[in-house]
Each structure stands twice: as structure tokens, then as C-alpha cells.
Chains A and B, each alone.
Chain A
């Protein structure tokens, strides 16, 4: 985080700290307290929305590492979520594993799937990589359908209620807290991964892979690392999703979700941890808005006006952002922050 005018780092530890002022600590603490007390005053519906938002945030952090930081565009993220979700569901439903053990296995399985489908990225990029990741989405879903005896095929799989330390996470409040823990953890790790050697290598590859290679960055290693890490996030999100719905079905991981995830990243701002959160919140809120507005529109205009409203509005908002604010909401947020940080000064000194 940037600092207010007049605040200076005095040592290396301060320079490296993620949060370096009391104000920043206070803001984060206030946010955490807010997340903690939400169930006290929010309805079940709002908790459901926040929980699904949280799951999407975890997933988008992964996509942000892969696409936003490393520049490897993936339109198969929903497929990788399916790998994590189904692995976790199978381990719990068929083998009786506890949720806390099944979830990391789901994440690992998704990471390995990411490694496999990331292999083409060593040879191809841009449009061709997009096509390869689309193929990943369809191949994963096809495999799930074919492994009917294990996955339940198109019928899906009933998943038992998650239990952690003897606590059955059956209520919306319980699960909300669980998801928020993962949101916080994934946000911290995503933010810090970018500050590591690997993170800097990702950015170097994104900005100019040839230059990065000349500088000694191993494209082979770091591209696969990006796929592995990004898909681990997807696996965690997929696992959280199926345990929340308590049912694993291929319908939970449609191709269009992969497209919308990329859209969330565009709207929020690629290459920014906060941007990933902004994108999820913006598009999920839009989704809820059009769902509520659908019946009103149908009554006012025509019954069919509500059909496909979400698809149209999502597409439209992504186009608008691509044209008018390609750097996403995060950029706007940074502008606002900069303005208030320097208040009443501008960032340039007066002659």
C-alpha cells in the first residue's frame, strides 16, 4: 500500500511490510471485524451472496496470478474448479474422508491438472493458448461425464455436510466464516506471491517473455508454476463450492463461468489483488441486480425482456470497461486513493 504524504520508511523491514502504517492496519482490522460481524445483521440471502462472492474471489485470485501477473490467458478456469470440486466431493462422499483433508487434495488435483494443461503454454501463447485452455475446460468436463462410476456422471454426486473439528458446517453462518477465512488467506498469499522471486518472474514474462528469458528467467519453470498456483486456487474454490451446494454437478462448472471469470478480472483490473476482489464484487452485484430487475423489466416491457438479461448485461459491462477503463476498477480506486492521500497537494511540487 502507498503511504500518506509525509510518511517515510525508515528501515528495510518497514519497506518490505505489507501494511506499514497504523492507518493501514486499522483499515484492514476494520474490514476483518466487518466481515466477522456481517452474519449478525445480514439475512441468509445476503450471506449466500457473500459466500458465493467469497468463493469466486478465491478462484479469481488464482486466475489473476495466471493471467493478470503471468500473462497466460486461461478460459478454462471453471474446468480446473471442477477438478478440485469433484476430487474433494469424491474423497468425502465415496471414501469418507473428512472435509479438511479432502479440500487440500482437491486443490492439489486441480494444480496437477493445471500443470498438465499448462504444458502447451511452453510452445504457444496468446490466441492459441486461449484455445488450448478452452479445450481443457471441455476435456475435464468430458472426463467427469465418462467416469460415471466415480463422479456420478451427469447425475452428479451428493456431498456430505462438511465437518471441521466436530463442528458441522451446515448453517450459512458457519460456512460464511469458513469461506471468509479462505478469502483472507488467499488474498494474503496472492498479494505476497507477487512480491516473491516467482512473482517478479511472472510479471517479467507477462511484460516481455523474450526479454525475461534473456535475463535468465526460466519460462518453462515459471509458466508452469503460474499454472500450478493459479489452479490450486481454482481447486480450493471448486471444493468450497461443491461443499456449499452439497452437490457436485457439471452444471456448476459451465464454460461460460470461465469466460465470466476472465470478465471479472477485466472489470476489476488485471494484475492487482484488489482488482480481483473489485471485479468479483462488481459482476456478482450486477448479476444479483439483473436477477431482481428481471421480473420488473418483464412486467414493464415484455415477458421475454428478462431472458438472458444477465448474459447481456455482463457482456455489455465487459465491453464498456474494455473501451473506457481497460485498467479496471482497481485503477479508478487507485486514482481516488491518490487524490485523498496527497490532499491538499498534488503529486507534483509547485514551481
Chain B
């Protein structure tokens, strides 16, 4: 039998004559139905996608975030702060309560972000997307992302704020800017601070007890070891702990104990430092325990977060390069953070200290855009303009004392701050114990 001459004849043939064809027709009908059903969903998705603003002047801040993975808690607080700060600037056109400069009235800020899951290839794709959508400032969410994007951002002349602060940033070319000291400068400050209270005649023994990832290992540069030895330490060796340990690092700590280590330094986040210090206490290791050993980490292991979770069990834990506690409302910057949350985050208050970091990041991004717009008209702004006339021109940006000093950036100056704040957990509270200058320790290739 020959097929029908028209679609209707074909349909009649399928529907009424051939039982198998009827069965297949049903399957095809299902597929067609599914295709039809998916059309409104696709349409809605397309309509909901953020598009480049055409009618009004819009600038984007934010960037890639690591909301999935070990930095999720930190990233979520940072993102919330960026959103709140942007809402504040849009509503008031002020940049901070203590600043007189105004953000251009005809320009609106929008937050644009994506979750990179701390995966470099995904961050690469997100970076391309945000750049294509007109984002003029970038963001780095962690050391793996930093190492993958750093050189690419330089090629694109894209300035970026960074939550990671490894010494890899200090090797030129530089277009990524941190707002707390790099890890090597932080642990150098801890070493300096520890020496001020060292009374024995022998050299103090120092070892690395650090996270086993790019962030943790970034302190293992010859210059860091040389600095420790130059300042009178005996360097013993290195032990690694998983970024998020699944079992207590007993072997590593026992090694430190056997070697008689006085000061252990490393880069850890709280999910790593808390179980490590718990095990230290169990093994009798700590500044106030049988085996006198002090453990110090840079800012990702914030003392305020640590103290809240560990209480007095964590006494003696040292953190360098962090911020003031969130309850220090006498500080203008902290009060500003609190006010932002009162106004834009009612009922969903964020107590994580990285909220302060998010406000700093947003301040830096917005300031870079504002400064660039003073030199280049909005319509002609490029990432290169924002880097050259924005980021590089930020000098003594007042942060309301959120950061240890006002932020200054420029060619060859990506660290922002000039001093390192040191906090220690004492009686279950984070207490500031000193402030030390930057040592600028990085690999000078």
C-alpha cells in the first residue's frame, strides 16, 4: 500500500488502519506533547534570564562565587553583603556613612553572580559569560579559581577583587586585588608576634601544619622559610591536613609533638582548623596545655568564627589578617554592616564575619567603577579603563576600620592593607593581640 498523498490521509492511515502505527503514533504524540509542554518553560527561562540593560545605565558588581563546596559558608556571607551594599548605594547614592563622595545618580548597580562550585573550568565559563554580559569588574572565589583565572584576567585587563589571598598574586602581572593580607604575610606576622613573647634561650621550633590544597600549600615558598629562619626560627618541616578532615589529624599532630614544635603555622578554613584544634587539645597540645604549642592561621580560619564554635576549648588559637568581630558596634564599619542588615536583611541576619569581607569587596568594586567613570564616559567604559583608572587609583579608601588599614591599590600593590591584625582566642572570645607591618613575602621570579 502506498502512503497517503496528504498529511491528513497519512494521519487517517496511522490512526484508523494500522494498529502498530497507532501505538507508535501514541508514542510520537507523547513526544510532541512533551515538546509542546517544554516550550512555555523555555520561553519563561529566556524571559527570566538577565539581559544587558539598554534603557538605563547599569553597572554590574559581584562575580563568581563558590556557594557549593568548602567555601560555601564564607561565599554566602560575602554574596549577601554585596547585595546589601549595592541596595544601599542604589537607594542613597552614598558610598558609606563616613564618606562624602556620591555615586553617579544616573547609574544603577546590579549584582550579577554565578556559583562556580570551586571548579576552575566552570569558573572559566562563568567568567566568559559575565564578561560577555558587560561586567567590568571580576571576582575570585578561591585559590584554585585564582590560579586558573589570574593570567587570563590580566590578558583581558580585567580588575578583580579576591577572596583568596595567596602569594601567587604578588608575582606580576597583577590585576586581582585582595583586602586582607596575603597568607605568607599573615603567617610572617604571627611569627613576629610569637617572637615577642618568646623567652627561652634556644631558637623556637616552627613547622607548617597546613591544608592539603592550593590554598594551604601556597605558603610553601622558599622566601617564607627563609624569613622564618632569618627571624630566628628553627624550621622543622611540614604536615598536611585535608581541607575538611574526615578524621582527626592525629598522625600529623603526633609528629609535631615528637619534634617539639613550638609554633605551628598553616592556612586552614574553620571546617579544618576546628577538628584539628580539638585533636590538639585531646593530645595535650596548646599554649596552655602540657605540650606548649601555638597554632596560627591566616584569615580564612577567622578567630571570631572559631571562638563562637569552639568556646574555651579553642583558647590559644591565633588568626592573622582577619576582621573585627561582628558585635564590635563601636567601630563605624561594623556598625555600617549591622545597619545594612537591619535595613535590607530583616529576619535573615548573617553573623558570619565574611559579611564584612563582602562589604569590603563591594566597596572596592564600586569605588573602582566610580573612579573610572570620572575619567571615561559610561558608554565607553571597558574593563581596562576600570583597572587603570579605577582599581589602580584607589588610595587610602576608608573602610570604617573593617580592614586593618584603609585600602590602597596600584601597580605592584594588590594587597590593599599595610598591616596585619592578629587575634587570639582567649577565654572563648576573639581578642586582638597585636598589629604588625606587611613583610611582602612572595616568590620573586
A residues with CB within 8 A of B? 43-45, 48-49, 52, 145, 153-156, 158, 172, 241, 244-247, 249, 251-252, 254, 287-289, 291-296, 303-304, 306-311, 332, 335-336, 339, 343-348, 350
**How many residues from B make CB contacts under 8 Å with A?**
55
Query: A293 to nearest B CB, angstroms?
Result: 7
- Let me know if A310 and B68 touch, CB within 8 A: yes
Given contacts A145-B212, A304-B76, contact A346 B24 (CB under 8 A): yes
Give the residue of B4, B17, B68, B128 whose beta carbon is less than 8 angstroms from that of A45: B128
Query: Can you name 20 A-B pairs with beta carbons within 8 Å?
Result: A43-B128, A52-B124, A154-B214, A155-B147, A155-B218, A156-B147, A244-B121, A249-B214, A251-B119, A251-B120, A252-B121, A291-B114, A303-B76, A306-B115, A307-B72, A308-B72, A309-B115, A310-B117, A332-B31, A348-B18
Cα of A311 to Cα of B24 in the assembled complex, Å: 35
- Let me know if B125 and A288 touch, CB within 8 A: yes
- Let me know if B17 and A350 touch, CB within 8 A: yes
Given contacts A292-B114, A306-B115, A350-B1, contact A339 B124 (CB under 8 A): no
Cα of A44 to Cα of B28 in the assembled complex, Å: 37
- Let me know if B132 and A344 touch, CB within 8 A: no
Given contacts A43-B132, A246-B152, A344-B14, contact A308 B20 (CB under 8 A): no
Given contacts A45-B132, A249-B148, A292-B114, contact A155 B67 (CB under 8 A): no
Q: Which of A155, A252, A288, A343 has the most CB of B within 10 A?
A: A155
Interface of A is mostly: helix
B151 within 8 A of A: yes
Given contacts A306-B67, A309-B115, A310-B68, contact A245 B148 (CB under 8 A): yes
- Let me know if A48 and B124 touch, CB within 8 A: yes
User: Could you say which residues of chain B place their CB within 8 Å of the CB of A310?
Assistant: 68, 115, 117
B122 within 8 A of A: yes
- Let me know if A154 and B114 touch, CB within 8 A: no
- Let me know if B214 and A156 touch, CB within 8 A: yes
User: Could you say which residues of chain B place their CB within 8 Å of the CB of A336?
Assistant: 28, 31
Taking A48-B125, A339-B27 as known contacts, 13 extra A-B pairs with beta carbons closer than 8 A to each other, sorted by chain A number, are A44-B132, A45-B128, A154-B213, A154-B216, A245-B120, A251-B120, A292-B114, A295-B112, A295-B114, A303-B76, A306-B67, A346-B20, A347-B20
- Let me know if A254 and B120 touch, CB within 8 A: no
- Let me know if A303 and B80 touch, CB within 8 A: yes
Give the residue of A294, A343, A345 whose beta carbon is less than 8 angstroms from that of B115: A294
Q: What 9 A-B pairs are tightest by C-beta distance, nearest first?
A: A344-B3, A251-B144, A346-B21, A346-B20, A344-B10, A45-B128, A45-B129, A307-B67, A48-B128
User: Could you say which residues of chain A place their CB within 8 Å of the CB of B119?
Assistant: 251-252, 254
- Let me know if B120 and A252 touch, CB within 8 A: yes
Cα of A294 to Cα of B168 in the assembled complex, Å: 30
Tell me the residues in window 91-109 of chain B with beta carbons closer than 8 Å to chain A beta carbons: none
Cα of A155 to Cα of B68 in the assembled complex, Å: 21
B79 within 8 A of A: yes
Tell me the residues in window 116-173 of chain B with beta carbons closer than 8 Å to chain A beta carbons: 117-122, 124-126, 128-129, 131-132, 144, 147-148, 151-152, 168
Query: B257 to nearest A CB, angstroms?
Result: 24
Cα of A66 to Cα of B93 in the assembled complex, Å: 60
- Let me know if B151 and A291 touch, CB within 8 A: no
User: Could you say which residues of chain A place their CB within 8 Å of the CB of B50?
Assistant: 295
User: Could you say which residues of chain A place their CB within 8 Å of the CB of B114?
Assistant: 291-292, 294-295
Given contacts A155-B214, A292-B49, A304-B76, contact A245 B124 (CB under 8 A): yes
User: Could you say which residues of chain A place their CB within 8 Å of the CB of B68?
Assistant: 307-311
Closest chain B residue to A295 by CB distance? B113
User: Could you say which residues of chain A place their CB within 8 Å of the CB of B76?
Assistant: 303-304, 307
User: Could you say which residues of chain A place their CB within 8 Å of the CB of B214?
Assistant: 154-156, 249, 251
Query: A223 to nearest B CB, angstroms?
Result: 31
Cα of A116 to Cα of B148 in the assembled complex, Å: 31
B55 within 8 A of A: no
Cα of A344 to Cα of B3 in the assembled complex, Å: 6
Give the residue of B20, B72, B79 whose beta carbon is less than 8 angstroms from that of A348: B20
Q: Mark B221-233, 1 if CB is under 8 A from A, else 0.
A: 0000000000000
- Let me know if B217 and A155 touch, CB within 8 A: yes
Given contacts A45-B129, A251-B144, A345-B3, contact A291 B120 (CB under 8 A): no
- Let me know if B79 and A249 touch, CB within 8 A: no
User: Could you say which residues of chain B place their CB within 8 Å of the CB of A344?
Assistant: 3-4, 10, 13-14, 21
Closest chain B residue to A51 by CB distance? B125
Cα of A110 to Cα of B367 in the assembled complex, Å: 48
User: Could you say which residues of chain A place their CB within 8 Å of the CB of B124?
Assistant: 48, 52, 245
Tell me the residues in window 43-96 of chain B with beta carbons closer than 8 Å to chain A beta carbons: 45, 48-50, 67-68, 72, 76, 79-80
User: Could you say which residues of chain B place their CB within 8 Å of the CB of A158?
Assistant: 151
Cα of A50 to Cα of B49 in the assembled complex, Å: 20
User: Could you say which residues of chain B place their CB within 8 Å of the CB of A254?
Assistant: 119
Given contacts A154-B216, A343-B3, contact A245 B121 (CB under 8 A): yes
Give the residue of A154, A309, A332 whose beta carbon is less than 8 angstroms from that of B217: A154
Cα of A122 to Cα of B121 in the assembled complex, Å: 35
Q: Which of A153, A154, A335, A343 has the most CB of B within 10 A?
A: A154
Cα of A319 to Cα of B3 in the assembled complex, Å: 41
User: Could you say which residues of chain A place their CB within 8 Å of the CB of B117?
Assistant: 310-311
Cα of A350 to Cα of B19 in the assembled complex, Å: 9
Query: B126 to nearest A CB, angstroms?
Result: 7
Query: A303 to nearest B CB, angstroms?
Result: 6
